Structure 1
Amino acid sequence: MLTPGHQPAPATEMDQLPALLHRVVAELADPAITYLLGGHYYDRTAHPRYRHFPAVFALRQGGVWNVEVGPDFFAFDTELIVYPERGAPHYPGPWADRFRATVPFAQLYQLCRKVLTPDELAAETVSYGPETIIYYNVAVYRQYPTPADINQAYTAAPPSTEHPLVAVLTAVAAGLADPGNQYVVNTTYFDSPSGPVLLGMLHLSAHTVWDLQIENEAFTCSVLLNPHDRQEKSPVRVGFVQVWQVLLSNSPQMEWEEAAENSGLLYDAPEVLSSYARQGRPA
């Protein structure tokens, strides 16, 4: 379908966004092509307030990097040049405020694309006319936030970025003080002195684990791996993305169904195991 002037009609459906945004990523290699993104809000890092209104960004070479097209979001690293007020950090500036922005598809209502002329490449500003619009979702546009929505977002606490296994393993570490507690950590693999242990299962109890250290994205400990020497302690490292289950029982012989019935299923991420099965290698 062509609009007057023989311009292709812009896309209007949210399910068309992934293809359009992958095109954006590919064309960032061309300095003569620039995009303008319009949305209601974006979430950002490196700021005490994580949600910001509106989401208006020029997307062009050198202006954004580490671009990601997710299943329902568009994310990228960028920077704003700011001149802080007197007494504020980085005064008087200019200061490059670098952060990662994430725009949900449900908030993105417009995308424009323009091929710059040599004169426009040298200009400080770029104008986007109606003919540059390649995506416009009127339903999303009409869901603009109210002042109450904005005030609520500005006062909300930022979402936690802590991996849920941090809390689970903290509870495990405390529970190891009871010799009757038996824990099993099921993984797609973990690292050991002799290399990766595929589909490794770790049995953690007061008598089988030492030096448990919990990090942001992994944990380390020493366990008994050598079947020929039950006194040898082997250091292991387990990435959280490799853990698909954590169980608690009061018996070394643990069954999944029994643990679940007795509230012993502390963590369950079957998608990790499914991904391993599909790929045939560590997730």
Structure 2
Amino acid sequence: MVLQAEEGLLTTPSARILVATAVPAERDAVARAFSSPDSQDSPDSPVEQIWQPGVGLTRTTRTAGVWDLLDAGVGPARAAASVSAALTAARLAGTPYDLVVSAGIGGGFQPEAPVGSLVVARRITVADLGAETADGFLPVTDLGFGTVHHYPPRSLVRVACQATGAPAGTILTVSTVTGTAARAAELRARHPQALAEGMEGFGVAEAADAHGTAVLEVRAVSNPVGPRDRAAWRIGDALTALTEAFGKLAPALESWNRHDDQ
């Protein structure tokens, strides 16, 4: 591959980006951004199925980079294992990724993240890793070990927000989806900057951190965080928002300069 002269730029044709979703429907929503008639690269964006040891990927090659899409599985543990396998396989092949994006739909905290909107993580936080005590929940860090936060590069968050118009804040990772008003209120009290919750972001971030790879999380909001009301969910609208977001995100992330934070 020929590298562009400006060092540190994710551009032609060296940008290699892994997008990890939980399920195929989310992966396909991202893929549609690259096959849309509005995509400037769509005539030159063939889709391939790539098989690496233990990892199946959907690959789109664009003018400015290669995008591998992975349905990594539901929950932080499965997501971490799948993404770590993909990162390891790529590094062994001599084609390591420059960036991992955790993407999908999720619940939004109202009114900051209405249904159908997009949010970007300034901070990726695991909300339920710790211990329950008589005085309330203690994060694992208060027990003297582990970590509960990952911070995407500030310049990466900035370009993602500028490209999409999305707000930035905390995206929570939970192993049990919130289903009551009381639980939603508890989470907001502990995490006042929370915009959304999902089930994979922290696992993806843990894998990326272990490999020294930059990470970003974006969520399209399909439902309010709180009492479960399936009739109020707008999964189709959220998947459409995810497609539209990646149509705008792709060129921005391909041209992200990782040295802006240094």
TM-score range, shorter chain: under 0.3
Higher relative contact order (CA 8 A, sep 6+): 2
Q: TM-score, structure 2 length as denominator?
A: 0.21
